[in-house]
Chain A
Amino acid sequence: MLLRLEPRQFTSKRMQYASPLIAAVLTLIAGVILFSALGTDPVVALHTFFVRPLTSLYGVGEWALKATPLLLCAIGLSVGFRGNVWNIGAEGQLTMGAVCGSGVALAFWGDEGPWLLPLMLFVGVLGGMAWGAIPSMLKNRFNANEILTSLMLSYVAIQILGYLVHGPWRDPEGFNFPQTRIFGDDGILPVLLEGTRLHLGAVLAVICTIIVWIFMSRTFQGFKVSVAGQAPAAAAYAGYSRKKVILLSFLVSGGLAGLAGIVEIAGTINQLQPIISPGYGFAAIIVAFLGRLHPLGIFFASLLMSLMYLGGEQLQIHLNLPLAVTGVFQGLLLFFVLGSDVLVRYRIRLISQPKEA
């Protein structure tokens, strides 16, 4: 007997919904094995990982708080990924959004008003867009691989942030710590829920998700992006400009990553520090694919990823397990999701080997 993958004639709608569930079950099973091997009671460990973070209002707030930058970055990236444009540098665009928006807050420090916050967000978006525009222009002009350029520019952005907080933007009254002044009240996003840190950024993220959803499913420009991604030759035949799709994808994903950056600063951290993101921009790539590049899917995927961050912290605190467990867990989940996805297009058939003649 042999297992064979056989292409389906039509993509299976049922499998499209079942495959994330299959992946979740497989991840749980692998988790049980993993924790047993680490010598921990798997039930306790899984409870600590998935349930314990959400047992308090504060925890729920943290859940949505961490999901916010993931959602913003992933929803932006999904536009490019659908158009076959591979922006791997959301982390850099997030950083530059944070830097530019914070620059505004610092420039008007002590001389501010209610106009400051919208201006910071606007400049943050522009900063992310500008950083995203660089790889797109390199691609359009010199056919430079956007995967490499956008990735490398992420490290440049992180260095720029490091230079600023260690140098010109360092808080003059900050005892030489590498961080900027704490923003004034007009530069801080209002908290949504008393007793949590959840801020207005979460609402912005949901609004952006809806806008991207409408853009991709209802507008002709969004349709062009999808055609460019699925059949580049058809896009060229119909006269859709490839360069426009590349530029647009980078501007959207860069802008939204930039917004994620300044929202994270203005909402959560309230000053620039050498490290402002635990890799949201990179994790967002996983989130985008976990959500099948669909806005609703990405919404849930960002919540799941956020829960994994929180769960990882809980494991460290309560069970003394290493941080790497979180990484392994994320990897397992992605592995199983992509693996189960094969079932959407293929079916497994048991075949008996024909007898030797």
Chain B
Amino acid sequence: MTAAQLELTGITKQYPGVLANDHIDLAIASGEVHALLGENGAGKSTLVKIIYGVVRADEGEILWNGEPVRITSPSQARSLGIGMVFQHFNLFETLTVAENISLGIDEDHDLKQLTSEIEEISTKYGLPINPHQHVHALSVGERQRVEIIRCLVQDPKVLIMDEPTSVLTPQEVEKLFETLRRLSSEGCSILYISHKLDEIQALCDRATVLRHGKVTATCSPKQETPKSLAEMMIGSELPVCKRIAQKRDSEVRLVVRDLSIPSPDPHGTDLRNINVTVHRGEVLGIAGVAGNGQKEFMAALNGELMDSVTGRIELNGAELSKVGPAERRTKGLAFVPEERLGRGAVPDMSLANNALLTGYLNGMLNNGFIDFDRVRAYATEIRERFDVRSAGIDAEARSLSGGNLQKFIMGREIMMDPQLLVLGHPTWGVDVGAATTIHQEIVDLAAKGTSVVVASEDLDELFEICDSIVVIAEGRLSPVKRTSETNVEEVGLWMSGQFEADEGEVGHAA
């Protein structure tokens, strides 16, 4: 191994109540692709924020080419030669690609010269982009390219990529990997943060595994199995979700006909002519890259988006498109939104009050007065049945971890005994253990006859729990396929919008 480009020793960061990083050692060699692996909350983000100068460590030392350095700001990190592509993009929608990149450069520079530089990098590394295009017109994959080029124009020695593939189609992921391999062959080190094991095996030379803020293992991922990597990450054996093969049920539960909605957000996605049918006990997965209309579709199913909606939504034959969320609930619809804090739950309210939020139909009201005994009993039951770890039912929703809060919200909705359960990214930001529990709940619920519609960006998840899969791209829905009759490649291709809308076939699951 050559001398480390970047080396961390004993990095420690204490947040109120959490030791985010506990004496972490990490060394990245020049030209190495190094994975930082860990569950959500393991301390990955804190560590890279320390490297990039966003957060300062309480203890520990950073060595750059063997020399100790103090990184106090992102601009200092950049001048050293550290670039970072964040999970959430920092781009101005109304500016062009070149202008956006120009804003990220600290030194004086000429925009024209920069433009030609962008074009040069774009061809050299296989990152096609037009520097004169406005960012709002770009797809998510293209925006990521802008972020990467923004780092590359500064000629970095270390490039940090924070969960870069969550917004990409499988094909785009492959392209990104080519770019990253090319960079590494030229001597640029890459710190690659992810919890997706197959990607890490495909791309990375070495991996540092974090758990609860500590380094638990350093390994060569190519010599490990996904199972052994997962066990290093979660510290125990990986639980498996058991699924019983379902008979097809012909009873139609949900019918969406010609649903079109102009998005209320100027940069949002309009839904166009959505047609889909879901049967009793069927789990339908909606695959797609974020921002292709999943959010709007979920909101439309729940009745939060009702203005200027055209088309029909029927549940058990009852027309729902003209009534709001409260009435849809009485008809058997339940919904777990993607945003847990602030939408699925009120952050500053207790779990008991959050049980009341949508659970009120389960006999918690008495002439408009709240029956607090019933509310507390309901919350207690959710907590026990769904293994929600919290300091009792009076704990504020904000004090729960993502996985526990998700289990609570799922539990609240499942205990409504719904006809149709709609789920937005149910395991996003949830640790592996809780994710398996959640998957098992979904599968069990469907076995009892509830229909489930689940949107997710994680294809593995959808293939694991769904009976059928449909892709949403640019506000349109692909044909529905039985999970057993399709594969990741086909779905991936559809995610980029390449499917023929054959009107006769579209949207029929059975």
Q: Bound state CA distance, A6 and B360, in angstroms?
A: 37
Q: Mark A1-35, 1 if CB is under 8 A from B, else 0.
A: 00000111110000000000000000000000000
Q: Which single residue of chain A is at the shortest CB-CB distance from B335?
A: A237
| Structural contact, B343 and A231, CB atoms closer than 8 A | yes
| Structural contact, B16 and A239, CB atoms closer than 8 A | no
Q: Bound state CA distance, A240 and B324, in angstroms?
A: 9
**A219 contact set on B, CB distance < 8 A:** 368-370
Q: Bound state CA distance, A241 and B16, in angstroms?
A: 37
Q: Bound state CA distance, A240 and B303, in angstroms?
A: 11
**B68 contact set on A, CB distance < 8 A:** 357
Contact partner of A218 (CB less than 8 A), chosen from B16, B69, B347, B369, is: B369
Q: Bound state CA distance, A8 and B16, in angstroms?
A: 7
| Structural contact, A9 and B17, CB atoms closer than 8 A | yes
**B65 contact set on A, CB distance < 8 A:** none
**A240 contact set on B, CB distance < 8 A:** 326
Contacts of A215-230 to chain B: CB distance below 8 A: 218-221, 223, 226-227, 230
**Nearest Cβ distance between residue B378 and chain A, in whole angstroms?**
14
**A357 contact set on B, CB distance < 8 A:** 68-70
| Structural contact, B345 and A234, CB atoms closer than 8 A | yes
**Nearest Cβ distance between residue B174 and chain A, in whole angstroms?**
36
**A223 contact set on B, CB distance < 8 A:** 353, 356, 370
Q: Which of A7, A226, A230, A236 has the most CB of B within 10 A?
A: A236
**Nearest Cβ distance between residue A326 and chain B, in whole angstroms?**
35
B329 within 8 Å of A by Cβ?
yes
Q: Mark A229-251, 1 if CB is under 8 A from B, else 0.
A: 01101101111110000000000
**B370 contact set on A, CB distance < 8 A:** 218-220, 223
B464 within 8 Å of A by Cβ?
no
Contacts of B300-322 to chain A: CB distance below 8 A: 302-304
A39 within 8 Å of B by Cβ?
no
| Structural contact, A354 and B56, CB atoms closer than 8 A | yes
Q: Bound state CA distance, A241 and B262, in angstroms?
A: 22
B358 within 8 Å of A by Cβ?
yes
**A230 contact set on B, CB distance < 8 A:** 346-349
Known A221-B368, A237-B304; judge A231-B342 contact (CB<8 A): yes
**B69 contact set on A, CB distance < 8 A:** 357
B365 within 8 Å of A by Cβ?
yes
| Structural contact, A237 and B325, CB atoms closer than 8 A | yes
| Structural contact, B365 and A239, CB atoms closer than 8 A | no
B399 within 8 Å of A by Cβ?
yes
**B357 contact set on A, CB distance < 8 A:** 227, 234, 238
**B396 contact set on A, CB distance < 8 A:** 10
Q: Bound state CA distance, A220 and B360, in angstroms?
A: 9
**Nearest Cβ distance between residue B324 and chain A, in whole angstroms?**
5
Q: Bound state CA distance, A17 and B399, in angstroms?
A: 22
| Structural contact, A238 and B347, CB atoms closer than 8 A | no
**A356 contact set on B, CB distance < 8 A:** 70
**A227 contact set on B, CB distance < 8 A:** 346, 349, 357
B327 within 8 Å of A by Cβ?
yes
Q: Bound state CA distance, A56 and B56, in angstroms?
A: 62
**B303 contact set on A, CB distance < 8 A:** 239
Q: Bound state CA distance, A136 and B416, in angstroms?
A: 34
Contacts of A278-330 to chain B: CB distance below 8 A: none
Q: Bound state CA distance, A239 and B359, in angstroms?
A: 12
Q: Bound state CA distance, A9 and B18, in angstroms?
A: 10
B402 within 8 Å of A by Cβ?
no
**B356 contact set on A, CB distance < 8 A:** 220, 223
Q: Bound state CA distance, A219 and B356, in angstroms?
A: 12
Known A6-B16, A218-B369, A220-B369; judge A231-B302 contact (CB<8 A): no
**B353 contact set on A, CB distance < 8 A:** 223
| Structural contact, B329 and A220, CB atoms closer than 8 A | no
B143 within 8 Å of A by Cβ?
no
B337 within 8 Å of A by Cβ?
yes
Q: Bound state CA distance, A239 and B369, in angstroms?
A: 18
Q: Which single residue of chain B is at the shortest CB-CB distance from A221?
A: B368
Q: Which of B56, B357, B358 has the most CB of A within 10 A?
A: B357
B383 within 8 Å of A by Cβ?
no
B328 within 8 Å of A by Cβ?
yes
Q: Bound state CA distance, A328 and B69, in angstroms?
A: 52
**Nearest Cβ distance between residue B375 and chain A, in whole angstroms?**
10
Q: Bound state CA distance, A231 and B343, in angstroms?
A: 7
| Structural contact, B344 and A234, CB atoms closer than 8 A | yes
**Nearest Cβ distance between residue B421 and chain A, in whole angstroms?**
14
B224 within 8 Å of A by Cβ?
no
| Structural contact, A238 and B56, CB atoms closer than 8 A | no
Q: Bound state CA distance, A53 and B347, in angstroms?
A: 44
| Structural contact, B348 and A237, CB atoms closer than 8 A | no
Q: Bound state CA distance, A181 and B162, in angstroms?
A: 77
B339 within 8 Å of A by Cβ?
yes
**A226 contact set on B, CB distance < 8 A:** 349
| Structural contact, A231 and B17, CB atoms closer than 8 A | no
**A237 contact set on B, CB distance < 8 A:** 302, 304, 325, 335, 337, 343-344, 358
Contact partner of B327 (CB less than 8 A), chosen from A7, A231, A234, A239, is: A239
Q: Offer 15 A-B interface pairs, CB within 8 angstroms, sorted by A.
A: A6-B16, A223-B353, A226-B349, A227-B349, A230-B349, A231-B343, A231-B345, A231-B346, A234-B342, A234-B343, A236-B343, A237-B325, A239-B303, A239-B304, A239-B326
- B-side residues, CB < 8 A to A, are 16-17, 56, 68-70, 302-304, 324-329, 335, 337, 339, 342-349, 353, 356-358, 360, 365, 368-370, 396, 399
- A-side residues, CB < 8 A to B, are 6-10, 218-221, 223, 226-227, 230-231, 233-234, 236-241, 354, 356-357
**Beyond known contacts A234-B342, A236-B343, A239-B304: 4 more, CB 8 A cutoff:** A223-B353, A230-B347, A231-B342, A239-B329
Closest A-B pairs by Cβ, 6 of them: A239-B325, A239-B326, A233-B343, A231-B346, A9-B17, A357-B70
